[in-house]
């Protein structure tokens, strides 16, 4: 029994001795820090960029007026289809014309009578004038004949005015489109009496080609534009407006596909809002735009031939503003505050804060802690932007 117990004891002593010897070997217990995290870095992309002000606005009809009955009468016809596009001069409504046609005839007869009286008065005046030269009649008779002729001439003028007025009223029985546009539903029916207590609204016509877009520019932006123009030795005048392009995008569109130009700039800033109202002009031959739409507006304000751009997701923000992480000395991460500009796809313009030689961390940002070392993998900035776009598209497709 003692021999059987002695063998396990010897084995345990041998294992313990080996453990003690191993523990005395300091090299096997040295702390090995983890390797630096791998991050992707890229130099800023350099490319020409047009600088824009991006604003919001609304579309508005070039013209929108109420069609009204200007004479009293019964509606005799409705000559258009609700909601259709009509051209200028198209008859929209017909109002009973008989009374007004009779008034024209009456005015013509009055004018003819006045003209006949004028002929007689002219003959009598010429006769009295001739007799007066022969000293056969008195000057009083000449003056009387002259007064009668003047009265006849005035009567003709009055009759002509009455005829013209009657003709105008007869024309009002044909309600015509004042311009090309779309007419709304009719508000009166055939046989309805209109114009009794004043002009009666019959419908509304809206001109949507071309179209206006109204938007507001802040006071700061106005001053910025003035400074840019001053550097170029220019001032903005009304004649320059058609040369300034404006682009708009609808809510369901990604790009700015609709092209127009500036048409009007208010001469003063609204003190209640601190903004300046601006209007742009857009062709709308395909009638893709409707009045009253909310749109995003883009106006070019400058051009930079060598703008610096980084991947938009590489730009972080904190209480002090925007920043990017860059690769410093000995692959140590540094945080640099930057001033950002407009977005260009997956890239963001950096107006100041970094240089073209700065390697910007584009991926692995969470592992890139300022002051710590990283293992950089250098790539092209446009490649990084393309990867970002692909990731976003994949995420959207998955959802």
CATH code of residue 284: 2.40.30.170
214 belongs to a structural domain: yes
User: For residue 376, what are the CA distances in angstroms to 25, 116, 356, 382, 395?
Assistant: 36, 108, 18, 17, 26
Is residue 242 domain-shared with residue 321, that is, in the same domain? no
399 belongs to a structural domain: no
CATH code of residue 83: 2.40.50.100
Domain that holds residue 340: 38-50+305-389
pLDDT class of 3 with cuts at 50, 70, 90: very low
Return the structure tokens found at 398: 């998955």
Is residue 363 domain-shared with residue 332, that is, in the same domain? yes
Is residue 167 domain-shared with residue 275, that is, in the same domain? no
- Rounded distance between C-alpha atoms, residue 41 and residue 368, angstroms: 11
Is residue 191 domain-shared with residue 75, that is, in the same domain? yes
9 belongs to a structural domain: no
Cis peptide before 210 (omega within 30 of 0): yes
pLDDT tops 50 at residue 271: yes
22 belongs to a structural domain: no
Return the structure tokens found at 55: 């604003």
CA dihedral 257, 262, 267, 273 (to 10 degrees): 0
CA dihedral 56, 61, 62, 63 (to 10 degrees): -150
- Rounded distance between C-alpha atoms, residue 260 and residue 285, angstroms: 13
pLDDT for 293 equals 96
Relative orientation angle of helices 98-133 and 139-171, to the nearest 10 degrees:
160
Is residue 83 domain-shared with residue 188, that is, in the same domain? yes
Return the structure tokens found at 134: 């022969």
Is residue 213 domain-shared with residue 292, that is, in the same domain? yes
Is residue 178 domain-shared with residue 86, that is, in the same domain? yes
Please identify, among 303, 333, 365, the residue that sits at the C-terminal boundary of a domain.
303
CATH code of residue 144: 1.10.287.470
User: For residue 267, what are the CA distances in angstroms to 88, 243, 260, 281?
Assistant: 33, 18, 21, 18
Is residue 77 domain-shared with residue 123, that is, in the same domain? no
In the predicted model, what is the mean pLDDT of residues 112-140? 89
pLDDT tops 60 at residue 199: yes
pLDDT tens track for 19-67: 444 444 545 567 777 889 999 999 999 999 988 888 999 999 999 999 9
In the predicted model, what is the mean pLDDT of residues 338-349? 89
Whether this prediction's pTM lies above 0.85 is answered by no
102 belongs to a structural domain: yes
Please identify, among 287, 303, 319, the residue that sits at the C-terminal boundary of a domain.
303
- Rounded distance between C-alpha atoms, residue 54 and residue 60, angstroms: 19
CATH code of residue 309: 2.40.420.20
396 belongs to a structural domain: no
244 belongs to a structural domain: yes
- Rounded distance between C-alpha atoms, residue 270 and residue 183, angstroms: 34
113 belongs to a structural domain: yes
User: For residue 228, what are the CA distances in angstroms to 53, 222, 232, 238, 320?
Assistant: 13, 10, 7, 17, 27
- Rounded distance between C-alpha atoms, residue 251 and residue 260, angstroms: 18
Is residue 177 domain-shared with residue 167, that is, in the same domain? no
User: For residue 380, what are the CA distances in angstroms to 344, 355, 361, 366, 375?
Assistant: 16, 16, 11, 20, 16
Is residue 337 domain-shared with residue 376, that is, in the same domain? yes
pLDDT for 233 equals 72
Please give the backbone phi and psi of residue 293, each rounded to the nearest 5 degrees, phi first.
Answer: -75, 145
DSSP label of 35: P
Is residue 104 domain-shared with residue 212, that is, in the same domain? no
Write b or e for each residue in 134-163: b if 16 or more Cβ atoms lie within 10 A of its Cβ, otherwise e: eeebeeebbeebeebbeebeebbeebeebb
Is residue 257 domain-shared with residue 366, that is, in the same domain? no
Number of separate domains in the chain: 4
């Amino acid at each position: 029994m003692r021999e059987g117990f002695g063998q396990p004891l010897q084995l345990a002593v041998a294992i313990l001795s080996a453990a003690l010897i191993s523990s005395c070997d300091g090299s096997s217990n040295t702390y090995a820090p983890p390797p630096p995290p791998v991050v992707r870095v890229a130099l800023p992309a350099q490319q020409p960029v047009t600088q824009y002000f991006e604003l919001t606005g609304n579309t508005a009809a070039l013209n929108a007026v109420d069609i009204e009955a200007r004479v009293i009468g019964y509606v005799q016809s409705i000559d258009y289809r609700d909601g259709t596009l009509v051209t200028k001069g198209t008859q929209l409504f017909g109002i009973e014309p008989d009374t007004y046609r009779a008034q024209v005839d009456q005015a013509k007869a009055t004018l003819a009578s006045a003209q006949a009286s004028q002929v007689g008065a002219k003959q009598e005046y010429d006769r009295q004038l001739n007799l007066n030269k022969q000293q056969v009649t008195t000057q009083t008779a000449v003056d009387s004949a002259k007064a009668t002729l003047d009265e006849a001439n005035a009567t003709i003028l009055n009759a002509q005015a009455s005829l013209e007025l009657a003709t105008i009223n007869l024309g009002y029985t044909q309600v015509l489109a004042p311009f090309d546009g779309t007419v709304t539903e009719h508000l009166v029916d055939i046989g309805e009496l209109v114009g009794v207590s004043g002009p009666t609204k019959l419908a509304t016509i809206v001109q949507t080609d071309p179209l206006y877009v109204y938007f507001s520019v802040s006071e700061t932006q106005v001053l910025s534009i003035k400074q840019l123009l001053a550097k170029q030795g220019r001032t903005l005048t009304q004649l320059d407006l058609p040369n300034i392009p404006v682009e708009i995008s609808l809510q369901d569109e990604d790009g700015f596909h609709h092209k127009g130009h500036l048409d009007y700039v208010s001469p003063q800033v609204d003190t209640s809002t601190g903004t300046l109202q601006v209007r742009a002009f857009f062709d709308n031959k395909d009638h893709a735009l409707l009045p009253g739409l909310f749109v995003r507006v883009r106006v070019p304000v400058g051009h930079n031939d060598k703008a610096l751009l980084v991947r938009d997701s590489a730009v972080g923000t904190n209480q002090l503003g925007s920043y990017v992480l860059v690769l410093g000395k000995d692959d140590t991460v540094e945080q640099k505050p930057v001033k950002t500009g407009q977005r260009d796809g997956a890239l963001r313009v950096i107006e100041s804060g970094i240089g073209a030689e700065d390697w910007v961390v584009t991926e692995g940002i969470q592992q890139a802690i300022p002051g710590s070392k990283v293992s950089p993998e250098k790539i092209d900035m446009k490649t990084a932007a393309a990867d970002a776009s692909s990731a976003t598209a994949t995420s959207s497709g998955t959802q």
